[in-house]
Structure 1
């Protein structure tokens, strides 16, 4: 019933000074075509930027090519992620822990994201690999030296624990909650409102599914976290994230134990209706289908209205 955990992404420390990167960010053209052009430009750059002659420029281009494959719309998603992983691993031939620790940590974090999203391979092992990459990044990204990147990595590590298949589920969720709590040491409403909202949403997911503690109170906490996220995620400013949070809030109301059951289901239906203002069949077919399924569950159990 969940749509996703939202992960903030670190930005490249390499200077985005080549034509391919500019093409990737060209808002005037069609995104899919622009990404294909970017891939072609980066591949052309390798005619000059060889590992032997220009190792740092070669690594920078591998990194940017990985971003393009990761964001690619054309082609098979599973293979695009594999291409991105391969490029990041190539970049690590230059961006080692010893020579470029900050760049190394950044790539570790992004590899964590890639393995968390990976389609090929065994899902349980992919998540274990993601956890390992995030933990590696935290060797460099300390709270004292890189507070924002540390918090980003804590948030993403929380997402990995939340999705973890191996280990005890109850403890995995507790580990996720602990990571989100760490992230909020940096991501305050005042300083990082959007990332604060991301973490509030992820907290909501974790508390909604929490096994330890009292279930009814955990769901109340989840509802409160989603409502906090909506202080930032408005329809006007963050329509997709607003819709994700509306869907998640609907799921929490659907599972709610406290309050009147009939009203809880009505509140869930209202949230799903809000989400469909954004999740149309044309624009977000998969999320539209998820929300339609959630609607079906709520209407099946509805008490008010004509049975």
Structure 2
């Protein structure tokens, strides 16, 4: 078998361990560096599995006099484990354990930023574990809020944006009683808007587009007495996201956003001053967006999304048919 880049890296790292010229701490540092290299934009899940293997070897070599190296092995391993594609909860549970072991050591020896990064990563894992009933959304929000004390918008706009986005999505997923639904949605919108105060189209295009798209999603489903006003705000936010999300650069994200925009148009009257007249023009624009999204989803094998869009197109056909009678 031809060795892959991943195999060669692992071999090189483990060979370095045998070197008599390196100290034990240097060997662990080499393993951490090599594992981090595998984790950076991995092309296969095998590279992530190799990174876990290197971190485990690093932990075996750590002595009690190397608390920071031990914590960095644990934290790095947690991130590799949570990134490996998996259908079950086992890898996420392993990642949670790794982060939880690393945190007390980091809190004692590391910078606030390193602690906050681990809390942020733990929040992502806890949010993933909610689906398996192995954590609660409140646990995830708590971890994010601890990280947000360090990653402020002023000093760390990108990290702050990701945190606020994750907090907002967590709020929207909280199982609350109907009377608290409005409050939950409002808190989510506030989180998206707070992040957008610090994230700009020029400096942070990816985060900016993500936040605008997710803010628009929250606005169009917001339980409010001003649905038309919120839908107009949602349209404006989707248009902001589409300044970054293009068919050429990010086709799936682009298709998601135009499908979301189509949904707003489906529910928006052509003339907001005379809603009773109906919305044939907006329905046709909605139809065009959905048709484009369906084509992209089909081209990229996103069959579930393509099927959902097909259902929406059928609804539009019915609406247009009813308006023409």
TM normalised by structure 2 equals 0.77
- 1:91 corresponds in structure 2 to 102
Quick one: which of 128, 133, 145 aligns to 1:121?
A: 133
For 2:230 and 2:31, the matched residues in 1 are separated by 44
- 2:188 corresponds in structure 1 to 176
Quick one: which of 290, 296, 306 aligns to 1:272?
A: 290
For 1:57 and 1:47, the matched residues in 2 are separated by 11
- Higher helix share goes to which structure? 2
- 1:38 corresponds in structure 2 to 51
For 2:89 and 2:288, the matched residues in 1 are separated by 35
How far 1:234 sits from its partner (Å)?
A: 0.8
Asked if 1:150 is matched to 2:168, the reply is no
- Verify the 8 A CA contact 1:151 1:183 in the aligned structure 2: yes
Q: Which runs of 5+ in 2 are unaligned?
A: 1-28, 272-277
How far 1:140 sits from its partner (Å)?
A: 2.1
1:46–1:196 distance in 2 versus 1, CA, 3 Å: same
More displaced stretch, 147-156 vs 167-176: 147-156
Quick one: which of 213, 218, 235 aligns to 1:201?
A: 213
For 2:269 and 2:173, the matched residues in 1 are separated by 24
For 1:114 and 1:18, the matched residues in 2 are separated by 23
For 2:88 and 2:248, the matched residues in 1 are separated by 29
- Verify the 8 A CA contact 1:207 1:219 in the aligned structure 2: yes
How far 1:113 sits from its partner (Å)?
A: 2.0
For 2:98 and 2:111, the matched residues in 1 are separated by 17
Asked if 1:191 is matched to 2:209, the reply is no
How far 1:293 sits from its partner (Å)?
A: 1.9
Q: Which runs of 5+ in 1 are unaligned?
A: 1-13
Which is bigger in relative contact order (C-alpha 8 A, separation at least 6)?
1
Asked if 1:101 is matched to 2:112, the reply is yes
- The number of aligned residues is 285
1:93–1:219 distance in 2 versus 1, CA, 3 Å: same
How far 1:130 sits from its partner (Å)?
A: 1.6
1:98–1:43 distance in 2 versus 1, CA, 3 Å: closer
For 2:48 and 2:320, the matched residues in 1 are separated by 49
Which structure's CA Rg is the greater one?
A: 2
